[in-house]
Amino acid sequence: MAETTLTDSSQLDRPQGWRGIAADWASDQRAFKNVSWGKAMMWIFLLSDTFIFGCFLLSYMTARMSTRVPWPNPSKVFALHIGGSEVPLILIAIMTFVLISSSGTMAMAVNFGYRRDRRKTAILMLLTAALGATFVGMQAFEWTKLITEGVRPWGNPWGAAQFGSCFFMITGFHGTHVTIGVIFLIIVARKVWRGDYDIGRPGFFTSRRGHYENVEIMGLYWHFVDLVWVFIFAFFYLW
Amino acid sequence: MAEATANGLGQQALHSTHDAATAGKSDTHQEHPIKLYLVVWVWLFILSACSYMVDYFGLHGYLRWSLILIFMMLKAGLIVAVFMHMAWERLAMMYAIILPPILVLVFVAMMVFEADYTLLTRIAFFGPGP
């Protein structure tokens, strides 16, 4: 039960394809055969979070489509002066690369976790946390810059008033997710470093024994944060 | 868990021939080769650079929107499939997680009509925008 590291479904002695769906969801059994509850619950939480961010982006779409006033051009709003010339959207591009890099290091951390390489796992998780903190720092810089330029939730100097409210709402909520992720990354990295998952030490809150799968569950959350940024980048900054 | 296994065993018996055919096809468990992650990582960088280029070169209209959407879907697909290991999950899991967000598109369609109607009434009552 605990050793649910068998992710490749072709290994499982169960029917595949549509027959597999019917068989897995049939009554009086657990639907997710080779997925532990921790992982299934994280997926279901991420699904609900998808709806939250989906609603934010939807309300942004509705506000932008229904206003008579022209929408401010994000390419110009988020441009930076570098070497005397305006580089469009450069800060956002760097933030995107930082977050993708952190996703890559997280994927590596999960991999080394399953190889029981405590040192590399912990270091890669801390690197992920550092990249995440960098992202939040750059976001704080971006907020400061926009606020000093006069962007408020109720108006801005360049166009439709809804721009500010959408911006602060969407990026603020995403930044909160990144911050929470950084905190949990540090907590899990400490557990890995101490060898909690090797000796099965009980967690301080749930007093349940952890496994290296916890690193993968943490990774699911972190990749989701990156995933949400992909959509925000496309719809809010590029559109 | 015990009942679940017992239940599963009955079905295993039903599909034993099928299983024999698929068993041993792949011996991966949770660890996938590091090279795979690195390749996906590089691709995510390339795709992000491409979507940034869309803005840098100032493409407009349907070309811009379709390129943005294509790069976005490719990036999201790579992250979910490989980094989040969804590609190796059973279909029951994939459909439970991926199908509901796709249904949000119905909500999008509703809000497109709603926003159009709001814009129409605003233009009718307040005149075209400044």
Does A68 sit within 8 Å of B55, measured CB to CB?
A: no
Does B107 sit within 8 Å of A58, measured CB to CB?
A: yes
In this structure, the answer to whether residues B42 and B63 fall within a common structural domain is yes
Q: Which of B55, B73, B88 is the last residue of a domain?
A: B88
In this structure, the answer to whether residues B123 and B83 fall within a common structural domain is no
The SS3 assignment for A118 reads helix
In this structure, the answer to whether residues B116 and B79 fall within a common structural domain is no
Report the C-alpha gap between A5 and A35 in whole angstroms.
8
Range of the domain at B96: 90-130
| Residue A223 CB coordination number (10 Å) | 22
Enter the pTM of the model. 0.84
In this structure, the answer to whether residues B113 and B125 fall within a common structural domain is yes
* A194/B contact by beta carbon, under 8 A: no
Report the C-alpha gap between A114 and B30 in whole angstroms.
7
Question: Which of residues 8 through 47 in chain B touch A, CB cutoff 8 A?
Answer: 8, 11-12, 15, 18-19, 22-23, 25-32, 34, 37-38, 40-41, 44-45
Report the C-alpha gap between A28 and A143 in whole angstroms.
51
Q: What is the pLDDT of residues A14-33, one digit of tens each?
A: 888 888 888 888 877 788 88
In this structure, the answer to whether residues B41 and B65 fall within a common structural domain is yes
The answer to whether residue B7 sits within a structural domain is no
What per-residue confidence (pLDDT) applies to B25? 34
Phi, psi of A83 (to 5 degrees): 60, 35
Q: Which residues contact A106 (CB under 8 A, 6 or more apart)?
A: A124, A125, A128, A218, A219, A222, A223, B83
For residue B113, give the chain A residue with the closest CA: A62
The answer to whether residue A52 sits within a structural domain is yes
The answer to whether residue B39 sits within a structural domain is yes
The answer to whether residue A72 sits within a structural domain is yes
* A66/B contact by beta carbon, under 8 A: yes
Instruction: Please report residues of A whose CB lies closer than 8 A to that of B48.
Output: 93, 96-97, 100
**What percentage of residues in chain A have a pLDDT greater than 70?**
95
Q: Which residues contact B64 (CB under 8 A, 6 or more apart)?
A: A238, B54
The SS3 assignment for A10 reads helix
What per-residue confidence (pLDDT) applies to A6? 58
The answer to whether residue B119 sits within a structural domain is yes
* B73/A contact by beta carbon, under 8 A: no
What per-residue confidence (pLDDT) applies to A10? 66
Closest C-alpha to B47, from A136, A204, A142, A226: A226
Instruction: Tell me the H-state helices in B23-90.
Output: 34-56, 61-78
Summary mean pLDDT of chain A: 89
Does B111 sit within 8 Å of A224, measured CB to CB?
A: no
Q: Secondary structure of chain A: what % helix, strand, coil (to 5)? A: 70, 5, 25
For residue B18, give the chain A residue with the closest CA: A15
* A61/B contact by beta carbon, under 8 A: yes
Report the C-alpha gap between A98 and A94 in whole angstroms.
6
What per-residue confidence (pLDDT) applies to B28? 37
The answer to whether residue B98 sits within a structural domain is yes
Q: What is the pLDDT of residues A62-116, one digit of tens each?
A: 999 999 999 998 888 888 888 778 888 889 999 999 999 999 999 999 999 888 8
The answer to whether residue B49 sits within a structural domain is yes
The residue with tokens 């290296």 is A212
The answer to whether residue A225 sits within a structural domain is yes
* A207/B contact by beta carbon, under 8 A: no
Range of the domain at A229: 34-238
In this structure, the answer to whether residues B71 and B82 fall within a common structural domain is yes
In this structure, the answer to whether residues B96 and B120 fall within a common structural domain is yes
Report the C-alpha gap between B115 and B98 in whole angstroms.
27
The answer to whether residue A9 sits within a structural domain is no
The answer to whether residue B13 sits within a structural domain is no
The answer to whether residue B99 sits within a structural domain is yes
Angle made by CA atoms A142, A148, A149, in degrees to the nearest 5: 90
Phi, psi of A173 (to 5 degrees): -65, -40
Instruction: Please report residues of B whose CB lies closer than 8 A to that of A48.
Output: none
Q: Which tokens belong to A159?
A: 């166009």
* Between A58 and B5, the higher pLDDT residue: A58
What per-residue confidence (pLDDT) applies to B8? 42
Confidence check: pLDDT of A2 > 70: no
Instruction: Please report residues of A whose CB lies closer than 8 A to that of B92.
Output: 20-21, 24-25, 31-33
A97-134 burial, b if ≥16 CB within 10 A, otherwise e? bbbbbbbbbbbbbbbbbbeeebeebbbbbbbbbbbbbb
Confidence check: pLDDT of A153 > 70: yes
| Residue B128 CB coordination number (10 Å) | 7
* A3/B contact by beta carbon, under 8 A: no
Confidence check: pLDDT of A132 > 70: yes
Q: What is the pLDDT of residues A178-210, one digit of tens each?
A: 999 999 999 999 999 988 888 878 877 777 787
Confidence check: pLDDT of A7 > 90: no
What Å distances lie between residue B104 and A50, A58, A60, B110, CA to CA? 10, 9, 15, 10
In this structure, the answer to whether residues B82 and B116 fall within a common structural domain is no
In this structure, the answer to whether residues B64 and B48 fall within a common structural domain is yes
User: Which of B90, B102, B105 should one mutate to test binding to chain A, selecting the residue with the greatest count of A CBs within 10 A?
Assistant: B90
Q: What is the pLDDT of residues A87-102, one digit of tens each?
A: 888 899 999 999 999 9
Does A219 sit within 8 Å of B18, measured CB to CB?
A: no
Does B8 sit within 8 Å of A14, measured CB to CB?
A: yes
Q: What is the mean pLDDT of each run of 10 residues along chain B (130 residues)?
A: 42 40 39 87 94 88 92 94 90 91 94 95 86
For residue A237, give the chain B residue with the closest CA: B55
What per-residue confidence (pLDDT) applies to A8? 65
Q: How many domains does chain A have?
A: 1
Closest C-alpha to A10, from B90, B94, B9, B5: B90
The answer to whether residue B82 sits within a structural domain is yes
CATH code of the domain in which A104 resides? 1.20.120.80
Report the C-alpha gap between A196 and A205 in whole angstroms.
14
Does A58 sit within 8 Å of B101, measured CB to CB?
A: no
Q: What is the pLDDT of residues A117-128, one digit of tens each?
A: 899 999 999 999
Q: How many domains does chain B have?
A: 2
What per-residue confidence (pLDDT) applies to A152? 93
In this structure, the answer to whether residues B83 and B57 fall within a common structural domain is yes
The SS3 assignment for A67 reads coil
What per-residue confidence (pLDDT) applies to A192? 92
The answer to whether residue A190 sits within a structural domain is yes
